[in-house]
Structure 1
Amino acid sequence: MGYGSGELIIRSYNAQNDRVRVEGLESICEVGPADKPFLFTDTLGDPICRIKNSPIYNMLVAELGGQLVGVIQGTIKLVTLHKPPKNVAKVGYILGLRVAPAYRRHGIGSRLVTKLEEWFVACDVDYTYMATEKDNEASYKLFVNKLGYVKFRTPAILVNPVNHHRSSQISSNFKLTKLKIEEAESLYRKYLSSTEFFPIDIGNILRNKLSLGTWVSYPKGETWGKVPTSWAMLSVWNSGELFKLRLGNVPISCFMYTKSSQLIQKFLPCFKLPSIPDFFNPFGFYFIYGVYGEGPLYGKLVKSLCNFVHNMASSRPKDCKVIVTEIGGNDTRSKLHIPHRKSMSCSEDLWCIKSLKNEDRKSVHKLTTVPPTRALFVDPREV
């Protein structure tokens, strides 16, 4: 395809030569549909920050006429995936696709995806997948209509703003315990190793410095040494250490409301009005992952754990302004009890998948038709 400004060159990212240019591209590329409020990503001087904690990763850049006009990132890992005849698959995850606004609709995005898929094939990847907003028409057309991806799962993204002026209540009927890393790994392997997209290297995730810990909650009067009648668990990842987000394309009325709510909360706390965080300046967030539990009190126990995470975040205003959780689309039990602001959340994120091996192409249909497991493990390294 001719691009008018010379030959399109796609190559691996070189930190020394490309870092500043990639940061410049990120600063002008919004994340999400352009006709709605969108997010800008601040990588804090490290363009590969979102992938460098993964077992295997790569970043490609596109150059045209000496200008850097596009980037894409990919990671590779082993996960549990219900597919015959084995239960484990090597999957490649696509993220961070950006094309400079002036160069869109010229096939650069599809060329970047195709080149990344070639790298996946060279690494013997079984399936590649990506995530996008369900109403992101441009992304859907590119991956599904043009590149052969199919809809796979629709997780729910739950977002809860952090109120730095008020603590969340934790029931005195429950006990919270922080697990040792070895205990958390054993628990995840016991209860979640058969769920979709459970990473085989869960121990590396739990030992990463960005993982703040794993906590369990159970009724007082019972002991953790003997499995309680009801229990819940979750882990927390500090994404704000890697990159920051900033909101754009927001109506002035929303901006004024945010500022006024913060002033009321600061000077008139007796009114007990909810304060909206300042999303117009760069902000970080905590990501809750590995949510699971059992028993009749599971919902209340999950809520107590989420309230604990909120209180932990509220003591660190520079690190965290929102708490994000992503759960399986059919995990209604968790969704009912995880605190979240409906207006800020996404009831259906869209995951799409594609087989990279001829022998597995028929199994993609089976993967998309088999009912999903209730729990869906979302790797915090890919957020």
Structure 2
Amino acid sequence: MGYGELIIRSYDPQYDRTRVEDFERKCEVGPAKRVFLFTDTLGDPICRIRNSPIYKMLVAELGNQLVGVIQGSIKLVTVHKPPNDLAKVGYILGLRVSSLYRRRGIGSSLVIKLEEWFIANDVDYAYMATEKDNKASVKLFVDRLSYVKFQTPTILVNPVSHRMSRISSNVEEAEAIYRKFMSSTEFFPIDIGNILRNKLSLGTWAAYPRGESWSGVPSSWAMLSVWNSGELFKLRLGNAPLSCLMYTKSSRLIEKLVPCVKLPCIPDFFRPFGFYFIYGVYREGPLSGKLVRTLCRFVHNMASKSKDCKVIVTEVGGSDTSRLHIPHWKSLSCPEDLWCIKALKNEKKNSLHELTKTPPTRALFVDPREV
């Protein structure tokens, strides 16, 4: 039975909002072998890209049936060896195709159409992120659409309990130092000021040893910023092992009946929840690892006061040893996320090889607007 011609067009909020919301609720996020995460965009399907400088959402239809969606954003970033090298990059996210209509080329058609929009806006490179084990996504982008593996960041997830942690070092705001110390990192956004001033950015903090002065150069220091992703959309666990569910309920019961027993408690992930995203992690000095941990405890204290925040998520470069100092649960984290990139201009194709083969810098700036 035919379904008519595939039509790909721009998202129309008046006509598409309800349909896209329903469509997104049925589409899982994350690896099927572990758990399903479902998103609730709180009535705004483009919430994940709305804070980007330039953005677009496309929908795919067969007849009157919505069968796929994709989102994209554009920004100016540093690449390879800044500050001399700047590039306009387009980020691809939110690619969804209805399970009933997969393997019909709808996903590739959506990507190609979004790439055409990138090219029309003078974008140098298109890039996307997926889990390394997501074979379908890797096959689509790498094998069919000529994307090249670029980075393998680490995503660290730490549940939030309501036990307060002690902060042993000074924590100060440090918004003014990002350009000085992180402008040479890969994919550093030129409009960093817009990110830091955004209402979703809860603040930027730096930590250094007690007794030293920030006005000078501390022997060791660390910094990070926090983004409240829960204000944009919620997550909900849709599938989990029975053992996980039993542990969640039993640990909460034990904590209530015997509070002196410090059994790690898993938050209730089965109802919609928000999360904080830590970004812009940077450190220097022999004690900086401990200071990163101190800052993470500070963020945990912030999150513990929120009724909505259930986890803290951090994404750092795969070679960034800061990951050793960021608290996280291995079972909830992703040790190797995968970024893939594609040159959209002929003059950039030669530099793509150099860009992807160059050893990654220690730090990687992950834009919270693209989470």
- Equivalent residue in structure 1 for 2:319, among 322, 330, 350: 330
2:337 corresponds in structure 1 to 349
8 Å CA contact 2:53–2:73 kept in 1: the answer is yes
**In 1, Cα distance between equivalents of 2:47 and 2:290:** 35
2:173 alignment counterpart:
178
The Cα offsets for residues 251-271 of structure 1, whole Å up to 9 and x where unpaired, read as: 223212111111212222111
Provide the residue aligned with 1:321 in structure 2: 310
CA distance in 2, matches of 1:15, 1:40: 21
Structure 2 Cα separation of the partners of residues 211 and 380 of structure 1: 9
Instruction: Assess if the C-alpha contact under 8 Å between 2:289 and 2:325 holds in 1.
Output: yes
Which structure 2 residues correspond to residues 1-383 of structure 1 after superposition, within 5 A? 4-82=2-80, 86-164=84-162, 166-171=163-168, 174-179=169-174, 184=175, 186-318=176-308, 320-332=309-321, 334-383=322-371
1:250 and 1:263 mapped to 2: Cα distance? Answer: 19
C-alpha distance after superposition, 1:203-254 (max 9, x if no partner): 0000000000001111111111112111110000000000001112212232
Report SS of the residue matched to 1:270. Answer: coil
Q: Structure 1 CA distance, aligned partners of 2:26 and 2:32?
A: 12
SS of the aligned residue for 1:343 comes to coil
2:83 and 2:183 in contact (8 A); partners too: no
Q: CA deviation digits over 1:122-170, x for unaligned, max 9?
A: 0000000000000001101100011000100000001110012x11232
Deviation per residue, 1:168-198 (Å, 9 max, x gap): 2322xx211124xxxx1x3000000011000
1:260, 1:23 → 2: CA distance?
Answer: 34
User: Residue by residue, what CA displacement relative to the aligned partner does 1:319-360 show, whole Å, maximum 9, x if unpaired?
Assistant: x1000000010012x111111111111111000000001111
Q: CA deviation at 1:308?
A: 0.5
Letter in 1 for 2:272: P
Q: Is the 8 A contact 1:42 1:243 kept in 2?
A: yes
In 2, Cα distance between equivalents of 1:207 and 1:90: 22
Which whole-Å CA distance do the structure 2 matches of 1:275 and 1:51 have between them? Answer: 33
CA RMSD of aligned residues (A): 1.3
Q: Is the contact made by 2:317 and 2:362 (CA closer than 8 Å) also made in structure 1?
A: yes
Tell me, which stretches of 5 or more residues in structure 1 are unaligned?
none
SS across alignment from 1:321: strand
Amino acid at match of 1:364: L
**CA–CA distance in 2 between the matches of 1:121 and 1:225?**
45
Distance 2:2 2:91 in 1: 31
**1-structure distance, mates of 2:197, 2:312:** 21
Distance 1:84 1:189 in 2: 12
Q: Tell me which amino acid in the other structure corresponds to 1:343.
A: S
**In the aligned structure 2, how far is the partner of 1:306 from the partner of 1:288?**
9
Q: CA deviation at 1:107?
A: 0.7
**More off after superposition, 338-347 vs 207-216:** 338-347
User: TM-score if structure 1 supplies the norm length?
Assistant: 0.95
Cα offsets for 1:292-315 (capped at 9, x unmatched): 121111011110000000011001
The amino acid of 1:192's aligned partner reads M
3-state SS of the aligned residue for 1:125? coil
Runs (5+) with no aligned partner, structure 2:
none
Query: How far did residue 83 of structure 1 move?
Result: 6.5
- Which SS does the other structure have where 1:269 is aligned? coil
Q: Distance in 2 between matches of 1:33 and 1:219?
A: 41
CA deviation map 1:268-307 (0-9, x unaligned): 2111101001111111100000011211110111100000
Give the fraction of aligned pairs with identical amino acids, expressed as a percent: 75
**Distance in 2 between residues matched to 1:36 and 1:295, nearest whole Å:** 38
For residues 39 and 295 of structure 1, the distance between their equivalents in structure 2, rounded to whole angstroms, comes to 38
Q: Structure 2 vs 1, CA of residues 338 and 123 (structure 1 numbering), >3 Å: closer, same or farther?
A: same
